[in-house]
Amino acid sequence: MTDAYIVEAVRTAGGRRNGALAGWHPADMGGEVLNALIDRSGIDPAAVEDVVLGCVTQAGEQGFAFARNAVLSSCLPVSVPAVTVDRQCGSSQQAVQFAAQAVLSGTQDVVIAAGAESMTRVPMFSNISYHERDGVGVGPFSKRIQGRFGVETFSQFEGAEMLAAKYGFDRDALDRYALESHRRAAAATEAGVFEGQIVPLAVDDGLHLRDEGIRYDATLEGIGSVRLLKEGGVVSAANASQICDGASAALIVSGQALKDHGMKPIARIVQMTVSAGDPIIMLEEPIAATRKALAKAGLTLADIDLYEVNEAFASVPLAWRKALDADPDKLNVNGGAIALGHPLGATGAKLMTTLIHSLRARGKRYGLQAVCEGGGIANVTIVEAL
């Protein structure tokens, strides 16, 4: 069995809803990150054997074989196939894992894992809400599912509230975490930490090079003034991830491909895990998935130099950190989705890009990435920076 290596990993800077990237068709955003991988790696585009691309809201401009449309918008030849993956918030992390599995199995030698999502042009849940509006169908949860779990629907917002209550976090704790996310992201941006990983996109006033959602003047008072999503709850829009437009991609290859194409890797895939648990609390599964991944890798959390745990809601990384007794100084060191945005299907490969670049910049070895996903699923990937 061969190893699976990452040669390049890139992302766009995040765009706020109706912000800088609102004019970009999502297939074109996807095409741009594919182009960047080819340009930076120097590989022959025809050598790419498949593109696995994550996208959550597969409707409208993100419908009709969306991954294939991203390829058709790129410099890749029409001979390159593509497939779209929906693992909810971990879609492009699953794309990374599927690509690595193809390489590890010996089935393919050069695969691109990517993700793209325009939450401006294809609003979250629009693949459900538009059907509801027109009276088409009864929604994704059948009577059988509702009867089994005793609920009419599964809500990530309710899950975030349940997670905060279970692990003992009040609103102040969530708001303080959110403030730290903005402060870390602002400091990283000002220090140029993200510059090498960002693919510039042309916008009306030049090039989009900075994550648009960072609040450089964020204060605890300001965050605390935002209305709660639920009366008597602790979750607000300010301590949850930001709606975001963006794309990301990683080039994953075998050892033989490194030799054949004269490329140098930046990371190696060490371990890949996906697990599932309670679909009602939903957002707790990264804890169990992390334990499983570490055990399979023969590592402990102390062996891991940096963690990227998606900030879908502040309660997610806080619960993960508390349950695993994780070092807060290793967690989301450059901020997370609360400040940088969560472009759904693009987030997995986006976090992987940031994690690998952060490890290399700090001279560190192992990184762990965990993402909570709709339905109570979680992906965990461990990488070694090279």
- Residues annotated as catalytic are 89, 342, 372
SS (H, E, C) the chain: CCCEEEEEEEEECCEECCCCCCCCCHHHHHHHHHHHHHHHHCCCHHHCCEEEEECCCCCHHHCCCHHHHHHHCCCCCCCCCEEEECECECHHHHHHHHHHHHHHCCCCCEEEEEEEEECCCCCCCHHHHHHHHCCCCCCCCCHHHHHHHCCCCCCHHHHHHHHHHHHCCCHHHHHHHHHHHHHHHHHHHHCCCCHHHEECEEECCEEECCCCCCCCCCCHHHHHCCCECCCCCCCEHHHECCCEEEEEEEEEEEHHHHHHHCCCCCEEEEEEEEEECCCCCCCCHHHHHHHHHHHHHCCCHHHCCEEEECCCECHHHHHHHHHHCCCHHHECCCCCHHHHCCCHHHHHHHHHHHHHHHHHHHCCCEEEEEEEECCCEEEEEEEEEC
Identify the bridge partners of residue 383 per DSSP, sorted by sequence position. 269, 367
Residues with Cβ within 8 Å of residue 109, at least 6 apart in sequence: 49, 103, 253, 254, 256, 257, 260
Return d(Cα 186, Cα 348) in angstroms, integer: 21
Under a CB-based contact definition with an 8 Å cutoff, are residues 339 and 242 in contact? yes
Residue 1 CB burial class (10 angstroms; 0-12, 13-18, ≥19): exposed
Question: Which among 326, 324, 316, 325 has a CA at the least distance from the CA of 284?
Answer: 316
